[in-house]
Amino acid sequence: MHYLRGNTVKKKALIAGLSAVAIMASLAACSSDGGGSSNAKPTNCNNKIVNADAPVVSVWAWYPNMAKVVDNFNNDHDDVQVCWTIAGQGADEYAKLQTAVSAGKGAPDVVMLETDQLTGFEIQDALVDISDLGANDVKKNFAEGSWGDVSQGDAVYAVPIDGGPMAMIYRKDIFEKYNITPPTTWEEYETAAQTVKDAGGPWFGNLGSNVPAALTALFQQNGAEPFVYDLADPQKIEINLDTPEVKKVMDYWAGLTEKGLIGTEDQFTTDYIAGVVGGKYGTYVSAAWAPGYLTGAGVGQGDDAGLFAVAPLPQWDTANPVSVNWGGSALAVTSQANDKKLAAKVATGLYADEASLTDGWKTQTIFPLNKDVLTSDAFVDNEVEFFGGQTANKDIYIPAADAYEGTTYSPFSVYYYAQLQAQLVKIAAGDVGGSQAADDLQGIIVKYAQEQGFTVE
Amino acid sequence: MADTATTLVAKPAAAAKRKRTARERAHSRTGWLFIAPFGVVFVVFLVTPLAYAFYLSLFSKGLATGTAFAGINNYVRAFTDPSFLKGVWFVVRFSVVLIPVQMLVSLAAALVLDNLTNRFARFARLMIFLPYAVPAVIGALMWGFLYSPSFGPLEQIFGSFGLDAPFLLSPDNIFYGLMNVVTWQWAGYYMIIIYAALRGIDPTIYEAAKIDGANAWQVALRIKIPMVRSALVLILVFALIGTLQFFTEPQVLGPVANGTITPDFTPNIYAFNLAFKYAQFNYASAISFSLGAIVFVGVYIFLFVTRKRGSVL
């Protein structure tokens, strides 16, 4: 009896022990699976690998036509293959990349980033200077302004793909009904807005709280330089958010809001798109990627087909017009990439072939920055369907892109945008005026920069 | 006398223990092995992350500086950080208003359902419980559409009276907009807990009450509610912990709320954004621990107060 009992106990102990070991083993397996994505050959690609023998470079990107772009690249290359993953669009991807950077593993070899995010990752040593890894060879393909957005001095941290020269999209039906012509200055813009309002018309435009990047571009249009920062001296930063240039723009938009001339709905929401379709807004001050985005969201395909047109961005001073940029992305090589040279080859070659670029601009997915495309007859003379056959590239967007001189971004764009957004919400609610919001914003950002160890000048 | 008794009892027990040492040891080893699967998961997924987060919270790292030991500096900063304090104040206010409403709704539903025994009651029970079966994210997305000024039913309802519909996610209304979503989501779950407790009451007590001349109201107020008090305390604790850690609904509704839901809206959202958007894992850990401390103190005070009053739990 005693013997038997002991035996059962032993058996139970054995089983329990085995199950514990099994669980430990599976846990260990989990953790090693999760972290090894950049070492082992990735298997969870969104695309097919054409040449199974070639080394694989992992890429995170969210361009809508990325599937075609990746296939083009893989078909053209025997020596390297791209394994592409969508890790979310914009902020979602940045959050994942930030986590991977902080963890020290899990980042892809090549990552798509908007140009305003680059500095924030550069300062964390998350990106590789690829100037000598092939980037300088493709420099000639890009305008100085766009190249400046991806470089710090001689160092180059990404290869530009698309940009967002800004212009004013407007509704022809509304402009005709209230008998107005596209305003060329911001003064005229306000007068036109007042005219439409007095006649009982819709809002003339919109300033959503979730487009702080667009508003920042408009600061720059008035000669503001919100941040002066150079990675060569990474601890020093200049923050100019309470200058007269910024305040003038803030007061202008706060004034439009206060007078009820523009809406304050967040953009890129279903409600906003419904408003655009329904003629709730006379204009949409936006970037060159907007027509593609709006088309994808279903705008201009029903009763509102052919009602949209585009005009140059209104100016503060028509004698010295300034072009600004909102959005646009680039491909960067992360410092976690095993083979940085190979990754740089992908960053410079992906979305750089003619077939991909042509597909990109024809589907209005991107406004390309590659000079070969910008000067090609097909692109220049293209009659944009969304704008009812208007040659928008030639007349509006290419001149705007050519005149763009580049931007200096802060290393904490996400925080800055969040704080500007908070100020915009307050302005929309009528809690603060434009100048006050600019002063508050300056205080908040300076305090944050100091907390982060920067010397604010 | 008592001492002698203990020693008398203790002696043979101790003797027996000495005799069975080997077997006892085997037994206890087996016991440990049995809880090993749980223990491993507990240590790997709860204790280790907590310890690591606490370790992180003792350091500080700025974008422009390296990592440095900070001691309690992050905690000092947290409790003087207006963003954190504002978030805490919001969830505290939210709990104070939300929890009584939730409890009233679920208690009323449970009492009514307990009194009904027809087929409709079973159907209603299921329907009230249903929102809890909808994942919180999907529920919040759904409410996002219901609140939408262009697509939501509010527009039509108010429009038929010639009024402008209120936007329930605007800065002035967000409190009630969120309260509605959370009550909808959780009242059914709490109702089931109370209902189960009500079913556990011996029906002869009701009979006795009726014989004593109590009407239905008196039975509900004087017998049923006091007898399910422990269930009420339980759901209060659940609700308190859940609400102080408010995250999912505001996070999901954020993109359609016109900027009303800021990155520091609730302490949990603030911690999430600090870590994953602003790359401040150290400070985010300190915020999380500070929130944990506040929740712990809140729940402890609450349990202490209710224990004294009703001697439940």
Nearest CA to A257 out of A171, A190, A174 is that of A190
Q: What is the pLDDT of residue B205?
A: 92
Closest CA to A241 of A454, A431, A115, A419: A419
Please check whether residue B43 lies inside any domain of the structure. no
Q: Residue B103: what residue type?
A: M
Report residue A47 as tokens: 């695309």
In B, minimum Cα distance to A9 occurs at: B30
Give domain status of residue B41, yes or no: no
Beta carbons of B63 and A412 less than 8 Å apart: yes
Of A123, A208, A275, the CB nearest to B150: A275
Report which residue type is found at A257: T
CB A95 within 8 A of CB B277: yes
Phi and psi, residue B123, nearest 5° = -65, -45
If you measure CA to CA, which chain B residue comes closest to A453? B64
Distances in whole angstroms, Cα of residue A76 to Cα of each of A83, A356, A444: 14, 12, 50
Nearest to A13 among B29, B37, B258 (CB): B29
pLDDT for B51 equals 94
The enclosing H or E element of B296 equals helix B281-310
Check which CATH number belongs to the domain holding B95 and give it.
Answer: 1.10.3720.10
Determine whether the interchain pair A91/B30 forms a contact, defined as Cβ–Cβ distance below 8 Å. no
Strand, helix or coil for residue A318: coil
Q: Where are the alpha helices (DSSP H) in A278-368?
A: 290-296, 340-349, 354-362
Beta-carbon separation of B171 and A425 below 8 A: yes
Q: Quick one: which of A215, A199, A239, A164 has its CA closest to A400? A: A164
Match 């605007």 to its residue by tokens. Answer: B170
Amino acid symbol at A280? K
Query: CA–CA separation, A433 vs A249, rounded Å?
Result: 12
Nearest CA among A340, A426, A369, A425 for reference residue A109:
A340
Residue B52 belongs to some domain of the structure = no
In a domain, B56, yes or no: no
Look at A208 and B64 and tell me if their CB atoms are within 8 Å.
no
CA of B33 to nearest chain A CA: how many angstroms apart? 5
User: Can you tell me the distance from the alpha carbon of B262 to that of B24, in angstroms, rounded to the nearest whole number?
Assistant: 59
Cα(B224)–Cα(B116) distance, integer angstroms: 15
Q: Kindly report the nearest CA distance between residue B101 and chain A, in angstroms.
A: 29
Do B281 and A102 count as a contact with CB atoms less than 8 A apart?
yes
Q: Which residues of A touch B27 (CB under 8 A)?
A: 9
Contact A348, A137 (CB under 8 A): yes
| pLDDT single digits (tens) B102-114 | 999 999 999 999 8
> Looking at residue A166, what is its pLDDT?
95
Amino acid (1-letter code) at residue A243:
T
Across the strands, what pairs with B304? none
Terminal CA-to-CA distance of chain A, rounded, Å?
85
Instruction: Determine contact: A269 vs chain B, CB below 8 A.
Output: yes
Residues of A in contact with B276 (CB under 8 A): 95, 98-99
| Residue B194: band (very low, low, confident or very high) from pLDDT cuts 50, 70, 90 | very high
B277 with A418: Cβ contact below 8 A = yes
B65 in any annotated domain: no
Parallel, antiparallel or unpaired: strands A329-333 and A159-160:
antiparallel
Distance separating alpha carbons of residues B122 and B76, to the nearest angstrom: 53
d(C-alpha A16, C-alpha A408), whole Å: 61
pLDDT for A28: 41
Q: What is the pLDDT of residue A43?
A: 63
Instruction: Quote the CA–CA distance of A233 and A27 in Å, as a whole number.
Output: 44
CATH class of A56-163+327-374: alpha beta
Contact check, Cβ <8 Å, A418/B36: no
Residue B307's pLDDT is 73
Q: Looking at the complex, does the CB of residue A94 fall below 8 Å from at least one CB of chain B?
A: yes
pLDDT for A303? 82
Q: What are B74's two structure tokens? A: 């992050």
* Cα(B194)–Cα(A356) distance, integer angstroms: 62
Q: With beta carbons less than 8 A apart as the criterion, state whether B72 and A243 touch.
A: no
User: How close does chain B come to A8, measured CA to CA in Å?
Assistant: 11
Interface of A with B in 105-144 (CB under 8 A): 120, 123-124
A424 contacts: CB under 8 Å, gap ≥ 6: A207, A208, A209, A212, A215, A264, A437, B259
Cβ-Cβ contacts under 8 Å for B284 (sequence gap 6 or more): B271, B272, B274, B275
Q: Minimum mean pLDDT among A122-131, A346-355, B22-31, B128-137: which range? A: B22-31
Which residue has 């514990």 as its token pair? A20
ipTM over 0.85: no
Give B-chain residues touching A25 at CB under 8 angstroms. none
Closest-CA distance, A84 to chain B, in angstroms, reads 23
* B229 exposure class (CB count in 10 Å sphere: 0-12, 13-18, 19+): middle
Q: How far is CA A284 from CA A112, A261, A291, in A?
A: 26, 13, 10
Instruction: For A5, name the nearest residue in chain B, comparing CA atoms only.
Output: B23
Contact (CB<8Å) B33/A13: yes
Domain range annotation of chain A: 56-163+327-374, 166-324+388-456
Question: What are the backbone dihedrals phi and psi of residue B212, each rounded to the nearest 5 degrees, phi first?
Answer: -75, 0
**Secondary structure (3-state) at A155:** strand
Cβ of residue A415 closer than 8 Å to a chain B Cβ? yes
- The nearest alpha carbon in chain B to A454 belongs to B64
Rounded CA separation A152/A132 (Å):
14
The Cα A122–Cα A138 span in angstroms is: 21
Strands of A6-144, DSSP E: 56-60, 81-85, 110-114
Give every CB contact of residue A198 below 8 A, 6+ residues apart in sequence.
none
Does the residue B150 lie in any domain? Answer: yes
Q: Is the pLDDT of residue B216 over 90?
A: no
Which has the higher per-residue pLDDT, B311 or A241? A241
pLDDT given for residue A24 in this prediction: 45
E strand intervals along A397-444: none
Contact between chains at A91 and B255 (C-beta distance less than 8 A): no
**Which among A437, A254, A283, A210 is positioned nearest to B258, based on CA atoms?**
A210
In this predicted structure, what is the pLDDT of residue B2? 42
CA angle A298, A299, A301 (to 5 degrees): 80
Could B279 and A415 be called an inter-chain contact, meaning their C-beta atoms sit closer than 8 Å?
no
**Cα separation, A117 vs A328, whole angstroms:** 11
Count: domains in chain B: 1
Which 8-state DSSP code applies to residue A29? H
Residues in chain A: 457
Q: Give the pTM.
A: 0.85
Chain B residues touching A421 at Cβ < 8 A: 259, 262
Q: Is the pLDDT of residue B3 over 80?
A: no
Instruction: List the single residue in B41, B44, B260 with the smallest CB-CB distance to A425.
Output: B260
Class of domain A166-324+388-456: alpha beta
Residue B52 has pLDDT above 70, yes or no: yes
Average pLDDT (B91-109) is: 93
- DSSP-derived 3-state class of residue A127: strand
* Optimal mutation site among A269, A431, A445, A446, interface B, most CBs of chain B within 10 A: A269
Distance CA B125, CA B139 (A): 19
Residue B301 lies in a domain: yes
Average pLDDT over residues B171-189: 92
- Residue B148: predicted pLDDT: 87
CB contact under 8 A, B30 and A12: yes
pLDDT for residue B155 is more than 90: no
Residue B64 to residue A6, Cβ atoms within 8 A: no
Domain region containing B182: 75-310
Q: Are B298 and B99 in contact (CB under 8 A)?
A: no
A23–B258 C-beta distance less than 8 A? no
CA distance A166 to A86: 27
**Which chain A residue's Cα is nearest to B257?**
A266
- Cβ distance A451 to B41 less than 8 Å, yes or no, reads no
Is B207 within a domain? yes
Neighbouring C-alpha atoms within 13 Å toward the C-beta of B310 = 14
3-class secondary structure for B52-96? HHHHHHCEEECCCCCEEECCCHHHHHHCCCHHHHHHHHHHHHHHH
Mutate to test the interface with A, among B48, B63, B168, B173 (most CBs of A within 10 A): B63
pLDDT at B18: 55
Q: pLDDT under 70 in chain A at which residues?
A: 1-43
